[in-house]
């Protein structure tokens, strides 16, 4: 069974925050939710775990015992130690003593928090706190894992570790949903849902998204309003698919595809 | 510097609570407390008994507000009436003079009565009951016990809940397999226990250090304390429900604490307050707890004479605690009320 949102609209403070959003994930898969600030990523995550009520549409999720959630704030109790935070989650999920000991030992090791086991949550660095929150979300081996910006503030090495943990959870049969502003990270997910102003801009696998963008993306600056800079190079979206002389078609990555999709959406309005 | 001043005014304008504290509160406090801050006693509830009851009651100065005149009232009946809070002075009059029993737990009224009787009717023997030395500490300690319960219940509880919201862990709790009821009880129970232990410590210190008597039933005081704690914990949770951070929670908690300190009768006698201000006092939980604690500890008042304050506290408890539970559930239970969610 897939988990996620089907045609869901959500209002926050009486203003539309999600509009007719579809985003589903199957067990064993990783879904990345991407978008700029205020696009609706956190709203989607909070709706999926039940913290926000959908105005319309259907939200599918397992029962709360089978959900692991890492909020944007990390969800770590600052006045409990690393071990006590994990113990509380284990208590709430009524994990057996044996399961708890082996899972805590394993997660402390893979998140490299073993040496910090007796430190208070408040005394951890931002990255360590997120890793602890991540470990708490994974502890009870849930069916659906929802991670709100798990890699924000985390160093590159730890980001790779977190990705390995996410992948391992998916391989173990969990459905993993994470929000991120790092598009390179999102590209590694099985599927992607890109949000813009509360609406789905593009979704599916990277191939699906590439196929959904009409025209071509070329490597020269030409048509001003359809061009953007990538490092020292320029890109231009050519909706008619034509390739001007001196230009070459490029193999667009997720960043280029989403810029082109955004331009297409803007022009369609 | 000008930019800094403008920025500060902009921020203050948007912080409605601080604005209210800065402008409205001083005026309200001055007016209300101006009418409340009085130790002067203008009327003393009095009953008169004994063979010369009618003649003596007619000659009493206006300060003594005679509520019952009955020649059949003897010393035993008079003591019981004072114990149950029916009056502050019970006069057993005989042609030669008589005896005036004075309730020492009503400190300011008692002092005024003693002074008036000593100067105006020296032939009447005065017997101050319950607090013969008219000690301030004897009267204050029961009220202070309530104040401590109020502080823990309101301030500490609200801070505890707001801390969860600020740290983002309330969100974590909402997603966990916990019923809102479990979270609420789990959150409030430790404060309930700590407040109960604090109450015992305050009462022991009051008894052994300040020689405050404990003349009544422990059970009655315990019942009153539990009801009062429900009210204060409920207020604490309600405050946390409308506070985004700990600063706001403390601000609001102080707004509820200050009136209770000054208008509950702990410091200024309710009888001395202007009528409107006195009714504000009656709307405050500490007023009723103070009546219970002072009645039980100092006068040894029986349960039957405290049914009104106990009932009022129970009513407050049901309303405030009920609202707190509803508010807390609303914060936690979006997923449990969602009509379109399919939970497998």
pLDDT tens profile A181-198: 999 899 999 999 999 999
- Between CA A81 and CA A125, with CA A43 as vertex, the angle to 5 degrees is 25
Is 70 exceeded by the pLDDT of residue B342? no
Q: How confident is the model at residue B336 (pLDDT cuts 50, 70, 90)?
A: very low
- Report pLDDT for B259: 86
Instruction: Inspect the interface and report whether the beta carbons of B334 and A72 lie closer than 8 Å.
Output: no
The pLDDT of A222-251, averaged and rounded, is 83
Using a 10 angstrom Cβ sphere, with 0-12 exposed, 13-18 middle and 19 or more buried, the burial of residue B249 is buried
Average pLDDT over residues A236-259: 87
One-letter-per-residue 3-state SS of B241-285: HCCCCHHHHHHHHHHHHHHHHHHCCCCCCHHHCCHHHHHHHHCCH
Distance (Å, whole) CA B236 – CA B151: 9
d(CA A181, CA A35): 6
Question: What pLDDT does A241 receive?
Answer: 81
Q: Which of B167, B338, B343 sits opposite A53 (nearest CB)?
A: B338
Whether the CB of A109 is below 8 Å from some CB of chain B: the reply is no
Q: How confident is the model at residue B338 (pLDDT cuts 50, 70, 90)?
A: very low
| Cβ burial A168-201 (10 Å sphere, 16+ → b, else e) | ebbeeebbbbbbbeebebbbebbbbbbbbebbbb
Closest CA to B238 of B312, B319, B172: B319
| pLDDT-above-70 percentage for chain B | 97
The model's pLDDT over B137-189, given as tens digits with 9 standing for 90+, comes to 888 888 888 988 888 889 888 888 888 888 889 889 989 998 888 888 898 89
- Mean pLDDT, chain A, rounded, equals 91
For chain A, give the percent of residues with pLDDT over 70.
Answer: 99
Q: Which residues of A touch B176 (CB under 8 A)?
A: 64, 89, 92-93
Say what the pLDDT of residue B333 is: 61
A53-62, A237-246, B74-83, B326-335 — which is least confidently predicted? B326-335
Q: What is the mean pLDDT of residues A13-40?
A: 94
Verify whether the Cβ–Cβ distance A59 to B337 is below 8 Å. no
Backbone angles phi and psi of B135, in degrees to 5:
-75, 135
The helix (H) or strand (E) run that includes residue B194 is helix B180-210
Q: How far is CA A254 from CA A182, A234, B86, B260, in A?
A: 10, 15, 83, 62
Q: Which stretches of chain A are assigned E, i.e. beta strand?
A: 3-12, 15-25, 30-35, 56-61, 67-70, 144-148, 175-180, 191-196, 199-204, 216-218, 227-230, 233-238
Identify the DSSP state of B130. Answer: S
Q: How confident is the model at residue B343 (pLDDT cuts 50, 70, 90)?
A: low
| Per-residue pLDDT, B30 | 80
- Flag if A92 and B176 touch (Cβ within 8 Å): yes
Indicate yes or no: pTM above 0.95. Answer: no
Burial class (CB in 10 A: 0-12, 13-18, 19+), A211: exposed
CA distances from B137 to A221, A230, B23, B225 (A): 86, 78, 36, 20
| Predicted complex ipTM | 0.85
Q: How far apart are CA A179 and CA A184, in angstroms?
A: 13
Q: Say yes or no to pLDDT of A69 above 50.
A: yes
Selecting from A51, A92, A136 the residue whose C-beta is nearest the C-beta of B335 gives A51
Residue A50's closest chain B neighbor by CA? B335
* Average model confidence (pLDDT) across chain B: 86
Q: Give the model confidence (pLDDT) of B42-86 as tens digits.
A: 788 999 988 888 888 888 888 888 888 888 888 889 899 998 888
pLDDT of B32: 75
């Amino acid at each position: 069974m897939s988990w996620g949102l089907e045609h869901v609209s959500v209002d926050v403070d009486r203003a539309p925050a999600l509009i007719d959003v579809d985003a589903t994930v199957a067990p064993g898969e990783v879904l990345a939710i991407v978008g700029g600030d205020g696009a609706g990523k956190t709203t989607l995550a909070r709706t999926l775990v039940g913290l926000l009520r959908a105005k319309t549409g259907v939200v599918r999720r397992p029962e709360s015992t089978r959900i692991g959630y890492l909020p944007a704030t990390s969800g770590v109790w600052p006045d409990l130690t690393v071990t006590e935070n994990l113990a509380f989650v284990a208590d709430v999920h009524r994990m057996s003593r044996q399961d708890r000991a082996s899972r805590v030992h394993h997660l402390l090791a893979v998140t490299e928090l073993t040496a910090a086991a007796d430190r208070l949550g408040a005394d951890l660095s931002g990255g360590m706190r997120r890793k602890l929150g991540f470990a708490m979300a994974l502890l009870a081996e849930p069916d659906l894992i929802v991670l709100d910006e798990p890699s924000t503030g985390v160093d590159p090495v730890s980001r790779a570790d977190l990705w390995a943990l996410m992948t391992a959870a998916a391989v173990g049969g969990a459905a993993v949903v994470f929000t991120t502003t790092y598009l390179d990270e999102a590209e590694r997910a099985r599927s992607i849902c890109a949000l813009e102003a509360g609406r789905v801009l593009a979704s599916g696998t990277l191939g699906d998204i590439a196929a959904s963008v009409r025209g071509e993306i070329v490597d020269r600056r030409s048509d001003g309003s359809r061009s953007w800079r990538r490092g020292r190079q320029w890109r231009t979206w050519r909706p008619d698919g034509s390739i001007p002389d001196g230009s070459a078609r490029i193999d667009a990555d997720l960043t280029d595809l989403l810029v082109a999709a955004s331009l297409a959406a803007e022009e369609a309005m | 510097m000008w930019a800094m001043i403008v920025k500060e005014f902009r921020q203050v304008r948007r912080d409605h609570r601080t604005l209210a504290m800065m402008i409205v509160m001083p005026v309200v406090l001055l007016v209300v407390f101006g009418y409340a801050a009085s130790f002067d006693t203008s009327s003393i509830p009095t009953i008169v008994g004994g063979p010369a009851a009618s003649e003596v009651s007619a000659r009493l100065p206006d300060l003594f507000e005679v509520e019952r005149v009955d020649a059949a009232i003897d010393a035993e009946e008079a003591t019981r009436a004072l114990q149950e809070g029916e009056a502050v002075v019970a006069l057993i009059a005989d042609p030669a003079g008589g005896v005036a029993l004075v309730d020492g737990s009503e400190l300011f009224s008692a002092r005024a009565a003693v002074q008036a009787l000593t100067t105006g009717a020296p032939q009447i023997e005065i017997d101050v009951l319950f607090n013969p030395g008219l000690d301030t500490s004897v009267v204050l300690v029961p009220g202070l016990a309530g104040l401590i319960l109020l502080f823990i219940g309101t301030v500490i509880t609200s801070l505890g809940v707001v801390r969860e919201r600020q740290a983002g862990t309330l969100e974590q709790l909402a997603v966990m397999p916990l019923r809102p009821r479990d979270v609420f009880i789990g959150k409030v129970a430790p404060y309930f226990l700590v407040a109960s232990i604090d109450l015992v410590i305050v009462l022991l210190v009051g008894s052994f250090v300040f020689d405050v008597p404990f003349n009544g039933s422990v059970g009655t005081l315990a019942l009153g304390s539990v009801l009062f704690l429900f009210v204060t914990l409920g207020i604490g949770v309600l405050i946390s429900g409308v506070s985004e951070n700990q600063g706001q929670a403390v601000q609001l908690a102080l707004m509820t604490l200050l009136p209770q300190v000054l208008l509950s009768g702990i410091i200024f006698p309710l009888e001395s307050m202007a009528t409107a201000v006195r009714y504000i006092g009656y709307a405050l939980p500490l007023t009723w707890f103070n009546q219970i604690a002072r009645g039980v500890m100092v006068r040894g008042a029986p349960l039957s004479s405290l049914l009104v304050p106990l009932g009022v506290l129970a009513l407050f408890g049901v309303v405030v605690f009920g609202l707190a539970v509803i508010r807390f559930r609303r914060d936690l239970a979006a997923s449990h009320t969602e009509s379109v969610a399919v939970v497998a």
